[in-house]
Structure formats: structure tokens, C-alpha cells
Amino acid sequence: MSETNDKVSPIDGLVMRFEAPKGERVHRYFWAVTLTEITEDNLWWNTTLGKWEPYRANKDHGYSTHAPCKTLKAFKRMLRKCPEIRGRSVLVNRYVGLDVYA
């Protein structure tokens, strides 16, 4: 039986892929969420309002390619609240080889 690094969450069938094998995964020490690809919606993190939106939708606010996120639980909550980033988001860990893809 081959071991896979995919984990299906009971919330809406969300599939998350961990870089680390089972037993070596961490649920903290994360830095931010970033998107792996830019599509036609061109989503960026609005630093003032704290939500994903098209770049320069509100010119008075600051934008970043990274959204702050410190735990796996917060990452799941972000995916639940913003389903348009599913399938192309990465939870970046401070340490190499521990990122989570969803």
C-alpha cells in the first residue's frame, strides 16, 4: 500500500496536500498564504479590509500577494470563507518542506 500525502477534509471535501509525510507534519509555524497561479480574477490580499479581492478594486487600500495565516486551522477557515482560492493556495511554513497545498 503506497502512502499518499493527500488528506481529504470532512469540510466540503477539501483536499489538502502536505509536503511532509505523515508523522512529520506540523500544524503551526506557518507564515502566510499565497496563490500558486494568477487567473482571470487576479486576486490579491487587501491588507486594509483583510480579504481576497481583484487587484486595485479599491485604490485607497494596500495590496499584497501574501495573506497572514499562522495555523492550519486558520488556513482551513480561510478556504471555507473564500472558496475561489481553493485549488491554487499554499500555506507557507517557516521551515523548508512543510508547506500545505489546497
pTM assigned to the model: 0.82
Query: What would the pLDDT profile of 47-65 be if each residue is shown by its tens digit?
Result: 888 999 888 777 778 888 8
**Separation of alpha carbons 16 and 100, rounded Å:** 7
Domain residue ranges in the chain: 6-101
Q: How far is CA 96 from CA 19, 41, 45, 57, 85, in A?
A: 9, 30, 24, 34, 23
Query: What would the pLDDT profile of 64-101 be if each residue is shown by its tens digit?
Result: 889 999 999 999 999 999 988 988 999 999 999 999 99
Say how far residue 80 (Cα) sits from the centre of its chain.
11
**Burial class of residue 44, CB neighbours in 10 A (0-12, 13-18, 19+):** buried
